A and B are shown apart, each in its own frame.
Chain A
Amino acid sequence: DTGVSQNPRHKITKRGQNVTFRCDPISEHNRLYWYRQTLGQGPEFLTYFQNEAQLEKSRLLSDRFSAERPKGSFSTLEIQRTEQGDSAMYLCASRGQGGTGELFFGEGSRLTVL
Chain B
Amino acid sequence: AQKITQTQPGMFVQEKEAVTLDCTYDTSDQSYGLFWYKQPSSGEMIFLIYQGSYDEQNATEGRYSLNFQKARKSANLVISASQLGDSAMYFCAMREGGRNSGYSTLTFGKGTMLLVSP
Chain A interface residues toward B at CB < 8 A:
31, 33, 40-45, 48, 50, 55-56, 89, 91, 93, 95, 97-108, 110
Contacts and interface: CB of A to CB of B under 8 A. Distances in A.
Interface string B88-118: 0001010100011011111111110000000
B50 interface: yes
Interface size class of B (residues with CB under 8 A): 20 to 34
Contact of A100 (B43, B50, B102, B107): B50
Interface of B: 4, 33, 35, 37, 42-47, 50, 52, 91, 93, 95, 99-100, 102-111
Per CB-CB distance, the 8 closest pairs between chain A and chain B, nearest first, are A42-B108, A105-B45, A100-B50, A101-B99, A107-B44, A101-B95, A108-B43, A43-B108
B111 A105 contact: no
Contact of A91 (B45, B100, B103, B109): B45
A61 B37 CA distance: 24
B42 to A, nearest CB: 7
